[in-house]
Structures are given as C-alpha cells and as structure tokens.
Structure 1
C-alpha cells in the first residue's frame, strides 16, 4: 500500500520531546501512573518531571472514563470514592488545562501523554485536545480485543472518527498499542504486524506523527529481531511520517522479589538501548504486590535510565527466529484485503488471517495458540488460518492448563530464581529448566 506523502506539519510538544532525546542519544522513560484528583495527579507529574532521567509524563485514565460512563466518574469525584485513574472528561477541559499549566510552562520540554484503554475514545480525545494536550495512544484493534466487548467494526469506525479529530489539530501524536496485545504469550511477529497496521490506519486518517509499540517478551534475541522488524516495516510503510518506537517492560506476571523485578526492568532498558529504541514504558518492583506509589514510579524511571546509559553497544539481529519475514507476510496479507486498512483489519479477523492467541473477544477466531519453546522463545503451536509457520511435528506439543500457567509464570520464575541464586540462572533467552 502506497500512502500519499504526509503533509509537512510542526511537531507537537510530545513528539518534539522524543525528537530532542533521540538527537541527544538518550532513552526517554515513561511511567503509567494515573491519579483521580487534580492535586494527586499534579504531584505525580511534578515528581516525574524532577526524576533523574529523560522523561515524559503520563495521565492514565480511570475505568469509568474508558467505557464512557462519565456520570459514574463524576459521582465518584463528588463523593470521594476511589477511582483507578484520572477522569479527564468528568474533570472538564479547564481543570485539566490548569493542571497542565501548573506542571509545565511555555517552552518547557516536559511533555505529557494521555493513556486510556478505550475502544470508543472520541470523548476522551476531545477532552484532551480541549485541555491543550497533544498525545495519546490506542488503536482500533489493540484497544478493542483485550479491553472490551465492542465489535471490531464499531471500534474501527470509532477510531476512524477519533483519528480524524486528532488529525484536525496540528502537532498531535498517536501511539499504537498493537505491539502489546494481551501483554504476553503473543508471538512477536503478530505484535509487530498489528503495530504497523494500526500506524498505517492512523496515517490514512491524517495523523503525521505516530509511534509503534512492542512489549518485551520471553527471549532477548527474539525481541531484538522484533524491534528490528518493527523499524524495517515502519520505514517501508511510514517513510513520510514522523515516527518512533516505544518498548514496554515485560507486561506479564512480574517477579515477586525486588532484586528480580529490578533486574527485569534493567534488562528492558538495556534491550531498548541496544536496539536504539527511543522510548520505554517502565514497570516497578511493586507490581507483583500492590499499586505502585509515586515514589515506586520514580525509582523505576531512574533505574531504567541508568541501565540504558550503561548498556553495551548496539545489538544486531541474527535472524534465527524469522520475525521480520513473518510480520511482513501478515502485514501484506491484510493490506491486500482492502485499500482501506480499517476494512482490511475487519476482514482479516473475520477470516482468521489475524488471530490473537488466548484472546476471548467474540470477533477473534480463537484458533491460534502459542507456546514457549526450549530456547525460551514464543512460537506458534496452532496458527488457524494465519499465514505463519507452526512448530507442529517436533514432538508432543499438546497444551494443558498447567502448561499455560507455567508459561504465564516463565519470566517471573526466571528472574526470581536468578535473584535467589545469582549464579544459577541468566537473563531471558536462556532455558532455566
């Protein structure tokens, strides 16, 4: 698919912050925090701004706002009930603009992204634009399948209208969440393909600044291939667009030990630095036990930044896992279905050409399954109608409930055992059994 050249537009605050860090050769680190009140959210953003790291701030929204139940969010604010994030629509644009202006000043390099999780985000995007913010994330697939029962057709329509709204404001930035589908146990080729496809969708709807996501998985060498594939395909399909890559520290079950959790975080940062990834979303050592505090988030930001600064030289993919070829096949298969990539995505899921393993959404074919092989890498056990290669024929690959539980705990167990016995287990990419 050949997209027309993107119109020349100035970068907004968020994209400019990333561009300056890239020029300086620094990794941008970012938390996922969201607090319900203006005072708490302001304290969180101010603390992030003061961190000893190259940072951008985050306003993560609450569950009511994500599903469009703004009346419940307002009632919760009025009566002091707990909310698990910032209700941007309920607060109103004036309050959020005042919050932003209290934390940032004209010309201030500190930028803020709104993160939400909504399959129908129009009200959220209108609210953030009215408040003077210019960056958010999501996508018609990545914020539909894992988080809602919304039909894909409705999500594609809602995201098309929302992208059109964003694109009508110069300087806006949109990040695809496609590389984080379900957070774990999704083979990297599908994560790469979904992120690329969503960014092509954004570009078709007028966005000129985007980012492509990828969530750290279970094998470092495979992740290096995936991040290389993401850059390669972005260059091929988004060559006239401002874009960068964002890595998420492992999104599955986090280590229980503080030392294990910190080492996993550091390995994420080293992976980001070694692959020249521009931005990284951190997790904290508190993840396995409780909701992280502001202090927990600052510690994680600073640990990640320090690990990135001391990371070894750039890593080169060795091609062992074939991620690029498989991801390109998936992207091309969807783009061949319809000139409008949104319609292509709808048809791809209808036909099972895209099929997210272990995802129970009604529009997902649910025929694909993955497993962790002896190398610690994610592979296809069953592919359904997807044009990918499976590992069948290499022994007994039947999957049982205990196998799934073991896979879900693979990373946690690897790092906890390494923390308890430092000489016994290395980082991801080894076989700890």
Structure 2
C-alpha cells in the first residue's frame, strides 16, 4: 500500500468544505499506537493520524529510549528510531490507505528520525530549524540549522526515490506557544517555509498557534496567507494549520471544551484547512485514546457550527494590515542578510533582528517583550533590536515583571474557566 499524501488529503477535504482535524497522540507501545491510529475511524470527519515521538528520541538519546523499553518503562511518546522502520510499517499498515500519518517529534537534529520515517514509507512531518531549537533545549542554532538543512534535503530525496512526496509543516507559527505577538509567529512560519523550499521541499503547511484574542488571530491568519501567497514559489503546494492554544490550559473540562471550540471557530472563519486539537486532559496528564477521539469529535462539531453561524467575523472582514506590515518587515529584513536562508536566520538572531519574547535560549537576545492589553490582544512591550521602529510600544519599553508575566501566562486558561463556570459562551467576550 502507498501512504496517503497529506497535501492531497487536505485539498480533497477543503473541496468538500470540511476542516481536517488532527490529534497529537503518541504511545510507546506499537500495538497501542496502532490502536490509536485505528480509532480515528470513530471520528467520522477528515482526520490526519499522528505519531508523536518520545523525549529520548527528540534529543537523540536512543540508548536511553532502548534502556527504558527493555525495562518496560512507559515513554511519553513513540520511540521511532528504536522501534525501526519494519515495526512502524506494521503500526500504520491498517490506516495507511485511509489517511495520512504525520510524525511529530520536537528535535533540533532530526536526521535519524527522518531517515527512519522515510524507510517506513511515511512522508509527513513538522518542525523547523528555529522553532524546534529555541524552545526545547540548548542546541545552538549553529548546529540546529545545518542539521535541519541536511535532514530536510535527505527526506525529500528519500521520498522521491520511492515515488512519494515529502510534506513539511512549519512550527515557526508556534515558537514558545504563547505570549508572542502574531507578527513574529507569521514571520517565522513564512521563513521556515522558505527554508524548507530551499532544501527542495514543494509540499508545505504553515502553522499558527491560537493566542489570546480570536479576532487578532483572524488578522494573523489573513497576514500569513497573504505573505505565503506572495513569497512561496508557484510550484509549492501549501495550506494553513492552526494549533489550539498551546499555553497554560483551562483546568475545568467545560473551560477546555470552550477553548477547543473557539479554536475551531477561528480555524473555519479564518479559512484554515487543518486544526491540531488538544484535549480536556491537557492541564493534568497525557490524554488517552478515548479523550483524543472525543476532542476531535468536539472540534468537528464546532467547525460545522462555525460554517453556519458564529459571532466571529470571516477572515476577509477583518483588517490584517498591522500584522501584515510587521510580519513583512521582519521577513524582508531577514532575507536581506543572505541568499542562504539558514545563514540569514543565524545572523538575524545574532543581531536581534529576530527575538522571541521570554525565550531563554542563549542564541535569543531576550530584549523584545510582549504583553496582553486590556482588550486581550497581544502587543509589543519592548522591541529590542527588532526592525519595527514605527510600532507604537504601548508600555514605553518597560520590562514585564514576574507577577504580570504569571498573570499573562494564565490569562487564557483563567478566562475560559470563568466563562465556563458562568455559563457564558467563549465567543461572547
């Protein structure tokens, strides 16, 4: 059997006006992982399968993963390299002619992961040389960027040799997952997409993570689509993917259901083709297969409702010019540094032209900061060396103190727990 092409699967669903939904599940036991993939049949909506890898594999500690497996210790994901291509082929064998399966991993150096997945006949994965480096460890960009260039080019070649097409999803639209103004997320998603194209990839998805205000998210999605249309070569096929909020999650089941439902409304009203969902268990533990399935069902129900009616505007009805102007400035400032996008990214971070708020990685300047304003929108608090001189910095460059930061980190979770408790709709604020 030949694996289903992710881009074609999404394209077909979009033609039917259906939102593709996707879990983030990953189990260390091959049989349980296969059961999780098979359970997607219960969703009765277009769903992409996911194999999320474990923390040992993420950092290349395959000895540690093997040690844990030999002693029967559970891992927090699927150890792809240790299980190998043959076992993985068996895991996906029951679903590979029904739906695409994407490998999600979090690695700053994904060579072994990409080789193994290609050998298993899997073509879809995600991440990026910056977005899977800065948030997740201490690997220098000087190592992550060339590692990603080599791994991405190799994946494309390995897939083409089998008559298949590799698909890369940027993680640049997520970065730390929270408290990053939309223009930086849009810019990083586009830059990582261009980086993948430079390594020979012609099938992409560009990510954006839900933030603190749904209308601002619609503006960001509009800006992302415009920039992608302007800057990606015409031979590249691409679509947008939205992540349900990745920061501190509501602790109540009702609050988390509200937040997931809101992300489905943002996805539909913003013209997104695919949604990565989270479950009601996110605040406490790794979710079960059943909890993942229920989250997918809930997201699909909310997406259908959003097509009929929603208090959110459609994407074409919002003004995305502010986000678009900032994101375009960031992207163009980076592209001016070198024709090699990998080198341009390194240079941009070394000079602070790119700077991720609240990121502690030593290759990140850490001078730019953001805050949530009284309307719930994310704004720049200070710019550092970002090339956004015309942006009105509402806080006058003052630093964000610890108490304010903690309040902002909990802003979305607390809001949805409160609205759920009061019985109000998440769309009413």
Name the counterpart of 1:217: 211
Name the counterpart of 2:58: 66
Residues 292-340 of structure 1: per-residue CA shift (max 9 Å, x gap): 1111100000000111011037333532771011000000000000011
Name the counterpart of 2:171: 177
Question: Of 193, 203, 206, which residue of structure 2 is paired with 1:199?
Answer: 193
Q: Is the 8 A contact 2:183 2:323 kept in 1?
A: yes
d(CA) in 1 for partners of 2:85, 2:224: 35
Report the 3-state secondary structure (helix = DSSP H, G, I; strand = E; otherwise coil) of the residue aligned with 2:316: coil
Q: Is the 8 A contact 1:180 1:191 kept in 2?
A: yes
Q: Is the 8 A contact 1:414 1:427 kept in 2?
A: no
Q: Is the 8 A contact 2:222 2:320 kept in 1?
A: no
Residues 106-156 of structure 1: per-residue CA shift (max 9 Å, x gap): xx2311000000000000000000001010001100000001211101111
Name the counterpart of 1:305: 300
d(CA) in 1 for partners of 2:146, 2:315: 40
Q: Is the 8 A contact 1:382 1:390 kept in 2?
A: no
Question: Of 149, 157, 165, which residue of structure 2 is paired with 1:160?
Answer: 149
d(CA) in 1 for partners of 2:103, 2:320: 37
Instruction: After superposing the two structures, state which structure 1 stretch, 349-358 or 15-24, moved more.
Output: 15-24
Give the TM-score normalised by structure 2.
0.93
Q: Is the 8 A contact 2:259 2:426 kept in 1?
A: no
Name the counterpart of 1:272: 267
Question: Of 6, 25, 30, which residue of structure 2 is paired with 1:14?
Answer: 6
d(CA) in 2 for partners of 1:351, 1:164: 27
Name the counterpart of 1:235: 229
Report the 3-state secondary structure (helix = DSSP H, G, I; strand = E; otherwise coil) of the residue aligned with 2:239: strand
d(CA) in 1 for partners of 2:3, 2:187: 26
Distance 1:32 1:355, change over 3 A: same
Name the counterpart of 2:404: 403
Shift of 1:397: 5.2
Name the counterpart of 2:421: 420
Instruction: After superposing the two structures, state which structure 1 stretch, 163-172 or 277-286, moved more.
Output: 163-172
Q: Is the 8 A contact 1:379 1:390 kept in 2?
A: no
Structure 1 unaligned residues grouped into runs of 5+:
1-9
d(CA) in 1 for partners of 2:316, 2:356: 28
Q: Following superposition of structure 1 onto structure 2, how do residues 41-120 of structure 1 map, counting pairs within 5 Å?
A: 41-104=33-96, 108-120=97-109
Residues 19-40 of structure 1: per-residue CA shift (max 9 Å, x gap): 1111111100000000001111
Question: Of 137, 140, 158, which residue of structure 1 is paired with 2:129?
Answer: 140
d(CA) in 2 for partners of 1:99, 1:415: 37
d(CA) in 2 for partners of 1:395, 1:101: 57
- Structure 1 runs of 4+ off > 6 angstroms? none
Q: Alignment RMSD, CA only? A: 1.8
